[in-house]
Amino acid sequence: MNTRILLVEDEPAIAEIVEFALTSEGFQVLWRSLARDAETELAAGSCDLLILDLGLPDGSGLELLKRLRRVSELPTLILSARNAELDRVLGLELGADDYVTKPFSPRELAARVKAILKRASRPAAVVETGSAETSFDLDEVRAVIRYRGHALNLTRYEYLLLKTLLAQPERVFSRAQLMDQAWPDPAASFDRAVDTHIKTLRAKLREIDPQCDPIRTHRGLGYSAQLRNLP
């Protein structure tokens, strides 16, 4: 069955580009230019992913997303001309899976859509570790990471840091790389910020298992997740 994508975009020229990019990848695209029409489609529940413009003639895409998230985890990509930091952060905090700024590359957009669908098809990806006991469970849909069965109560930065480390266990990430992944505006932060969040993150992991430190510090290099050979 075809994957159906609901595109909510009021500019026909942009909608056409998106539709072309996605249909050439085999997706079925349903285009709506008004928020209220989009909500009718969303209520019908027949779509697999939502691409959402923020500035719509009859309302804000963010409001639509907020209402949607009360009832549905439908994978959502925000497509917006508004590159305001606040919109991006708000969109992601409201539960958007990704955020693409106009002007955009249609190929990149299609690649991001595929990546979101791939992630959504395995909502509770288990990071492979030596034994089930030491595993982290990353639930990207709910932005929750469980460590040895306990859901960690993480700040947004701690979550993004740990998620980045777990994505490639044993890879050493420099502070700059971690900052790129976890901070919307790296230039505004300092290396120390990473150290501070790693410290609070370690404290939370220690509360669950005082004997273990799955995050290794590499002096002068950065940090990595070490999942093998944990006691």
The minimum distance between CB 106 and Ca ion, in angstroms, equals: 17
**Span from 54-62, 94-102, 117-125, 128-136 in contact with Ca ion (CB under 5 A):** 54-62
Window contacting Ca ion (CB under 5 A); options: 7-15, 44-52, 200-208, 212-220: 7-15
Which listed residue (19, 53, 87, 158) binds Ca ion by CB under 5 A? Answer: 53
As measured in angstroms, the least distance from the Cβ of 174 to Ca ion is 38
Backbone angles phi, psi at 167, to 5 degrees: -60, -30
Closest approach, Cβ 82 to Ca ion, in A, equals 9
| Least distance (Å) between residue 77 CB and Ca ion | 15
8-state DSSP, 185: -
Question: To 5 degrees, how large is the angle CA 146–CA 149–CA 153?
Answer: 40
Q: For Ca ion, which stretch binds (CB under 5 A), given 24-32, 48-56, 163-171, 194-202? A: 48-56
Write the interaction track for Ca ion spanning residues 120-139; mark x where CB under 5 A is met and - where it is not: --------------------
Residue 124's φ and ψ, nearest 5 degrees, are -120, 70
Q: Binding-site residue total for Ca ion (CB under 5 A)?
A: 3
**87 scored as a contact of Ca ion (CB under 5 A):** no
Alpha-carbon radius of gyration of the chain: 19
Contact pick of 4, 10, 69, 72 for Ca ion (by CB under 5 A): 10
Contact 190, 177 (CB under 8 A): no
Q: Would you say 90 or 193 has its CB closer to Ca ion?
A: 90
Closest among 75, 121, 113 to 96, alpha carbons compared:
75
Residue with tokens 């489609």: 41
Is 106 a residue that touches Ca ion (CB under 5 A)?
A: no
Of 4-12, 39-47, 84-92, 122-130: span binding Ca ion (CB under 5 A):
4-12
Spatial distance between the Cα atoms of 18 and 1, rounded to a whole number of angstroms = 20
Cβ-in-10-Å burial (0-12, 13-18, 19+) of 183 comes to middle
Binding flag, residue 55, Ca ion (CB under 5 A): yes
> Edge-to-edge strands of the sheet including 98-101?
28-32, 4-8, 49-52, 76-80, 98-101
Cα 30 from Cα 20, distance rounded (Å): 12
- Contacts with Ca ion, residue ranges (CB under 5 A): 10, 53, 55
